[in-house]
Amino acid sequence: VDRDGNIKFVNEGALSLFGCTREEFMAERILFTAAEAGTEIRIPRKGSEVLGEMRVMEFEWEGERAQMVTIRDITRQRDMEMQLLTADRLVSLGTLAAGVAHEINNPLAAVIGNLGMALQDLEQWQEGSNDTEFPAALREMLSETADAAERIRLIVRDLKLFSRHEDDVKK
C-alpha cells in the first residue's frame, strides 16, 4: 500500500481471505495506520465474517514510503478458544451442580427419615386413640411434605446426573 492508500500488490492468500478477485481488491484504496502486532480485525465475507490478526509495517519501496499489511486468519483459533471456554464453563457448572446436590442431600435425608418416623408414630398413636380427625389432617400434611421431599430428591438426582458424578447417583 503506498502512502496515498493505493494497493500496489496483493497475494493469493489475501484474495482468498477477503473473498474477492485481484481486480476488485486492487480497485480499493486502503489507509492503514501502523498497527500493533496482533491487532484483530473483522473481515466481512459473503454470509459470514472472518477474524484476522493484522500487522502493518512501514518501509520504503521504490523511493517512497509504503506499508506492508499482513493479515493472518485466526477464525479457527478463536472458535477453538471459545469451544474450550464453553467446555471449561460446563465443567465448572457440573462441579457447582454436584456441590449443590450434596449440600441439599444431607438435610433432605434427615427430613425424609424424620417424616417416616413421624408417620410411624402417628399410626401407633392412632391405634390407641379414638380421635380420628386430628391424625387424618396431620397424616395429610406429613404425606404432602413427604411428596415434596421426594420431588427434591429427584431434582438432586438429576443434578448429580448432570454433573456426572455417577458414584453418587448409584447410592
Instruction: Report the SS3 class of residue 116.
Output: helix
Amino acid (one-letter) located at 169: V
* 8 Å CB contact between 15 and 21: yes
- Confidence class of residue 41 from pLDDT cuts 50, 70 and 90? confident
Residue spans of the domains in the chain: they are 12-73, 78-170
Q: What is the pTM of this model?
A: 0.54
Q: Structurally, what CATH architecture does the domain formed by 78-170 represent?
A: Orthogonal Bundle (1.10)
- Confidence class of residue 146 from pLDDT cuts 50, 70 and 90? confident
- Confidence class of residue 43 from pLDDT cuts 50, 70 and 90? confident
Taking each helix axis from N to C terminus, what angle separates 75-127 and 133-163, rounded to the nearest 10 degrees?
A: 160
